[in-house]
């Protein structure tokens, strides 16, 4: 409906899997199956893309690299370069190669200068917005990590995966404190979305099995 559509942000070459605004609402980050993360100024009609990071080549866009998502520089809302900051499996196994892995979701901490990404290589990465460095990376699931949510107090992170599980992480300790088998696989997919209630002690998930579940 032309009366509803405000504009179109064009640039990704494949499905867009995740979006997040900064608190001021003047920057938008998107992550895509094309292996890139892009930063946008949604108020612009032309030149809305301020920067791009290509997870396949490890190259960052040269335009607008000093701009960012609020206090988050463009170079931070990304998966690390293939040769940098390899994932550290908790079981001591060989870390998977992350160079050709799509980014499924990117979220920002509500109060700390921290950005978190979820990827098809089973990994979750924690990025320091002040330095541009990956401060922690880990193999978090047995299959692709599809979705993330940070609770309103910024204490816990919830992740969902195609391994059918939800995992609750203590952000300060970077440890898993609870795991739930929440959804059944369908067409090799399982958990599609997770969320925290903004005011009540509730969380929820949605899956490929056509179910939405709420947890106390």
What pLDDT does residue 162 have?
A: 93
Integer-rounded Cα Rg, in Å, for the chain is 17
**pLDDT tens digits, 17-66:** 778 887 677 888 888 878 777 888 888 878 888 877 665 444 443 222 22
CB 190 within 8 A of CB 208: yes
**Where does the pLDDT of residue 103 fall: very low under 50, low under 70, confident under 90, or very high at 90 and above?**
confident
Once rounded to an integer, what is the mean pLDDT over residues 75-79? 40
167: domain CATH number?
2.130.10.10
List the structure tokens of 37: 């993360």
Residues in contact with 147: Cβ distance below 8 Å, sequence separation at least 6, in sequence order: 104, 105, 118, 159, 160, 191, 192, 193, 194
Percent of the chain with pLDDT over 90: 30
Domain that holds residue 141: 16-57+100-215
**pLDDT tens digits, 131-186:** 767 788 899 999 999 999 999 999 999 999 999 999 999 999 999 999 998 898 89
Give the number of other Cβ atoms within 10 Å of residue 192's Cβ: 17
**75 vs 66, which has greater pLDDT?**
75
Report which DSSP code applies to 211: -
Length of the chain: 216
Cα distance between residue 22 and residue 205, in whole Å: 23
List the structure tokens of 175: 């440890």
List the structure tokens of 190: 């399982």
Residue at 28 is within a domain:
yes
Residue at 184 is within a domain:
yes
What pLDDT does residue 105 have?
A: 86
Domains held by the chain: number: 1
Q: How far apart are the first and last CA of the chain?
A: 39
What pLDDT does residue 1 have?
A: 74
């Amino acid at each position: 409906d032309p009366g509803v559509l405000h504009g179109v942000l064009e640039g990704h070459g494949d499905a867009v899997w995740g979006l997040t605004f900064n608190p001021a609402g003047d920057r938008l980050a998107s992550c895509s199956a094309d292996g890139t993360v892009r930063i946008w100024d949604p108020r612009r009609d032309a030149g809305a893309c301020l920067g791009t990071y290509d997870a396949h080549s490890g190259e960052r866009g040269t335009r607008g690299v000093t701009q960012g998502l609020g206090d988050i520089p463009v170079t931070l809302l990304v998966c690390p370069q293939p040769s940098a900051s390899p994932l550290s499996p908790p079981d001591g196994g060989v870390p998977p190669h992350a160079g050709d892995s799509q980014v499924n979701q990117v979220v920002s901490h509500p109060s700390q200068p921290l950005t978190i990404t979820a990827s098809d290589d089973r990994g979750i990465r924690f990025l320091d917005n002040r330095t541009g460095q990956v401060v922690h990376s880990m193999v978090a699931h047995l299959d692709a990590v599809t979705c993330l949510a940070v609770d309103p107090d910024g204490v816990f992170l919830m992740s969902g995966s195609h391994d059918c599980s939800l995992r609750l992480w203590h952000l300060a300790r970077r440890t898993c404190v609870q795991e739930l088998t929440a959804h059944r696989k369908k067409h090799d997919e399982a958990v599609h979305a997770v969320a925290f209630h903004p005011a009540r002690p509730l969380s929820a998930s949605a899956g490929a099995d056509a179910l939405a579940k709420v947890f106390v």
